[in-house]
Structure 1
Amino acid sequence: MEQAYKYNELRQHEISDGEITSKPMVLFLGPWSVGKSSMINYLLGLQDSPYQLYTGAEPTTSEFTVIMHGEKVRSVEGIVMAADSSRSFSPLEKFGQNFLEKLVGIEMPHKLLERVTFVDTPGIIENRKQQERGYPFNDVCQWFIDRADLIFVVFDPTKLDVGLELEMLFRQLKGRESQIRIILNKADHLATQDLMRVYGALFWSLAPLINVTEPPRVYVSSFWPYEYAPDTSRELFKREEISLLEDLNQVIENRLENKIAFIRQHGIRVRIHGLLVDRYVQTFKDKMSFFSDPELVFKEIVDDPDKFYIFKSILAKTNVSKFDLPNRDAYRDFFGINSVNSFKQLSAQCSYMGGCLLEKIEKAITNELPSLLSSISLGKNPSLSSCEATGCGEKPKNRYRRH
């Protein structure tokens, strides 16, 4: 369906085999020198080893660094990662060679990396325009955000000012609020009273940027291997650290459900796109007569699709929400590049052996993927009648803490 209706040219997001089989991705975002690289070193136990990520008080990370599992420790150049179709990073080629020089992979044998991949990003520097980086920084961030299972946005108590770059980042995170976790790092630098003020100031700064009813989870601690400073909330920091690790573990445990749900959501978008192109083609054929000018006829349809009920007719279909419909202007650009005559109608996208595209994708969305989800859920609770499986009717009060 993606290939038949050139979905990649509309959304630039095809799902490859590498993406389906990839491990959960944890993305680290935030201003420079807030402790993102130190936090990854700490979680993987790389401190004081030859493989630790470089850290410092100045902006040190200038690359997008992907830390993944491998049989031995080695670094992988960005051009190699993009060229390897078995990995999920081949679509990054579209951001150009300048970006691929700023992409690096690090492989190492590590138990945690067998189940998850970490991505360290360059720190946001408010006085630097993204054009100065030599590649579309925000677009690259968006690519990783769209694929991340967990997004840690890290802050330093002394760097809470929100500028244009950070505002842009939170606009890009819109719709991904359930994956966002805020980290207030280096918390043992402050006395308890000051920490409470900083916590309030952080929420005050972020409130206009996160428009959701339930605020994101905030973890307050110092994520590095050194002892907490004396006379600080040591027990609180330790409990927060345990909660964060349980949160990370939950994402790993739910990786199959999340992947299936993501593929189903993608399937719904592709189906809507196919239905819309089909409707445009059908309307064009109905409007055409022997004396009509094809360009003028189709321009009228593309300029005012509501006049021909293009989008409203799609809402009558099952599994289509008005909130999932793409922007009308996107189709003006889409058909500006692709001639309407280059597309067949959905009724013609059938073969004797392969069946019909629309029927197959509807079957996957309605039956096959939901039944896969059900089978995984049942597999996790094989004995639903036992107290161990159900907790005897009790539900955990805190979804961030496993019981």
Structure 2
Amino acid sequence: MRKLLYRTEEETVVYDNVLEGLYSLYKTYILDLEKEFMYYHFYKPLLTSGDFLSKPMILLLGQYSTGKTTFIKHLIEKEYCGMRIGPEPTTDKFVAVMYNEKEQLIPGNALVSDITKPFSQLESFGNSFLSKLECSNTSSEVLKSVTIIDTPGVLSGIKQISRGYDFEKVIYWFAQRVDLILLIFDAHKLDISDEFRRCIQAIKGQDSKIRIILNKADTINTQQLMRVYGSLMWSLGIVINTPEVNRVYIGSFWDKKLMHDENRTIFEEEASDLYKEISKIPRNSTMVRLNDFIKRCRTLKVHIYLLTHLRKKLPFFKKFLNKRKIVNSLEKIYEEVSKDYNLPLGDFPPVQFMKEKLLDMDWMRIPKLETKKIDRINKVLNTHIPQLLEMIPKESVTVEVSRFENQEGTIVENKLTPFLELTSGEIPLWVKQKYLLSPIDTSKYSDDFYKLGPDDFGKLSGEQVKQDLIKSKLPSAVLHKIWNLADITEDGYLDLFEYSLARHFIEMKIEGFDLPAKVPKDIIK
């Protein structure tokens, strides 16, 4: 259904959404100019529909066994197709975890052939890399709004070996395109290996996207946690050379019992902040891509003026000698072009980078400057982009984003959290028979219920029940899901049966089994 409409002096424009509008502008006005002036030789490759219309992405980076894959399982509440977890380096591939009702693995070569996905440019890294790339189609509510990139564990010390492809360049490629980068550290392994150091340096320039997670923090006590946090910040200060402080989230992002329960409140608040950060990504994605598109257009405009200016300076005879001489005076030429065409010097690429690229190309292939070509870029920047900016607040909020907007964190209260909606996998039959196929015996829990002091209506408030449930030492995220299952009436209170239901599910989880997606009819009297 068509939703967005605006008018220019020459035409009436109608799009389904802002991102479709951006893609249409790129194909109509920009793509041919990028090809003609060899933009891809100097900067980024040509864009496809997948670069505009795909879901926002989150990149996970960390040394092996820091909990990257387990974090994804915790986030989407199920194992993704092809997932492996272990203390050794188990994830040996780049895995794009994407939403699809039909769960399957797609190998790298097939993935890059699909231009509707944003990975087609990875083909340039060759078969050695593509054999280590795959897409995991997984059915999860969270994945309806974001795509998560799981990465191989970064090796440490003498364990580093050749991977057969340029690992840092692949990381750089993803870092440029994702919306959020999560650097995950294990509270017991804070050393930053040479390879991890190079990875962090490869994502330099993407500082606004970087967030840091200190994982498995429940395995140490409060005093140790203070020391570990200080050590982590000191180590990062050496590697990440920036005056700004990166946000560090402290917690244990798994479903196991907390070993040290004293920091539960901190873990709750930190997890809540992280989930809110992730929940903003789909809402901000359109503006981020619009901003990147504007930067690309401005860079292309400078690129065209610069190349055509250099072409005019190159005489037909003694081309090679004059070419090197001109390149060596590139700083002066930058100033000339900036002054002649009223372009800010901040839009020009680094001089050394440009020198290397210019010496490696045939200047005779540079087309002549035509005003109408620059006018096409100006029309996009001055006419179409302002109209699209006005359309963003009017654009309909998608179902996926609305699911995130009720996120309230992970406290054990009756606050619906669709972000943590249960999507667990199949439960074994014998577990069903023990926990899900027979009515609950409320007499087993009645003494504990009445000790908590129910009101005149025979119900306990969320605050009363919270203090009782946290004795299980299960993470607050798990207890939150148990509350949402147990509160059948959705009134924010638990009666005896609902309280018994909550205790029943706690026992089930402590024994290591996944919770059901909804309360089975067989256990309700």
TM-score normalised per structure 2 = 0.66
Displacement of 1:378: 6.0
CA distance in 1, matches of 2:339, 2:174: 34
Query: Partner residue of 1:264?
Result: 294
Q: What's the secondary structure of 1:202's corresponding residue? A: helix
On the 8 A contact 2:155/2:193 being kept in 1, the answer is no
CA displacement 1:308-337 (0-9 Å, x = unmatched): x32112333788443442233434433444
Query: Partner residue of 1:81?
Result: 111
Change (3 A) 1:372 1:317: farther
CA distance in 1, matches of 2:212, 2:381: 33
Displacement of 1:236: 1.1
Among 374, 377, 380, the alignment partner of 1:364 is 380
On the 8 A contact 2:182/2:211 being kept in 1, the answer is yes
Query: Partner residue of 2:148?
Result: 118
Q: What's the secondary structure of 2:134's corresponding residue? A: strand
CA distance in 2, matches of 1:313, 1:129: 52
Change (3 A) 1:202 1:318: farther
Among 372, 392, 399, the alignment partner of 1:376 is 392
Q: Say whether residues 1:295 and 2:320 are aligned partners.
A: yes
Query: Partner residue of 1:326?
Result: 349
On the 8 A contact 2:324/2:359 being kept in 1, the answer is no
Q: What's the secondary structure of 1:65's corresponding residue? A: strand
CA distance in 1, matches of 2:296, 2:359: 24
Q: Say whether residues 1:233 and 2:256 are aligned partners.
A: no
Q: Say whether residues 1:40 and 2:72 are aligned partners.
A: yes
Q: What are the ranges of 5 or more consecutive residues in structure 2 without an aligned counterpart?
A: 1-32, 398-525
Q: What's the secondary structure of 2:58's corresponding residue? A: strand
CA distance in 1, matches of 2:111, 2:261: 47
On the 8 A contact 2:95/2:136 being kept in 1, the answer is yes
TM-score normalised per structure 1 = 0.85
Amino acid at match of 2:368: Q
On the 8 A contact 2:93/2:132 being kept in 1, the answer is yes
Q: What are the ranges of 5 or more consecutive residues in structure 1 without an aligned counterpart?
A: 351-355, 382-403
On the 8 A contact 1:41/1:52 being kept in 2, the answer is no
Write the mapping of 1:183-194 to structure 2, written as runs, cut at 5 A: 183-194=213-224
CA distance in 2, matches of 1:319, 1:245: 44
Query: Partner residue of 2:192?
Result: 162
Amino acid at match of 1:304: S
CA distance in 1, matches of 2:354, 2:203: 24
Q: What's the secondary structure of 1:229's corresponding residue? A: coil
Q: Say whether residues 1:339 and 2:362 are aligned partners.
A: yes
Change (3 A) 1:42 1:134: same
Displacement of 1:216: 1.1
On the 8 A contact 2:250/2:267 being kept in 1, the answer is yes
Write the mapping of 1:118-267 to structure 2, written as runs, cut at 5 A: 118-127=148-157, 132-267=162-297
Displacement of 1:131: 6.6
Change (3 A) 1:31 1:11: same
Displacement of 1:140: 0.6
CA distance in 2, matches of 1:128, 1:33: 17
CA distance in 1, matches of 2:113, 2:340: 40
On the 8 A contact 1:130/1:137 being kept in 2, the answer is no
Q: Say whether residues 1:304 and 2:329 are aligned partners.
A: yes
Q: What's the secondary structure of 1:233's corresponding residue? A: helix
Percent of aligned pairs with the same amino acid: 32
Amino acid at match of 2:188: T
CA RMSD of aligned residues (A): 2.2
Q: Say whether residues 1:9 and 2:57 are aligned partners.
A: no
On the 8 A contact 1:190/1:232 being kept in 2, the answer is no
> Which structure's CA Rg is the greater one?
2
Change (3 A) 1:265 1:129: farther
Displacement of 1:37: 0.2
CA distance in 2, matches of 1:39, 1:152: 11
Displacement of 1:240: 1.1
CA displacement 1:106-162 (0-9 Å, x = unmatched): 012222111110000011113368771001111111100010100000000111112
CA distance in 1, matches of 2:92, 2:49: 29
Q: What's the secondary structure of 2:248's corresponding residue? A: strand
Q: Say whether residues 1:91 and 2:114 are aligned partners.
A: no
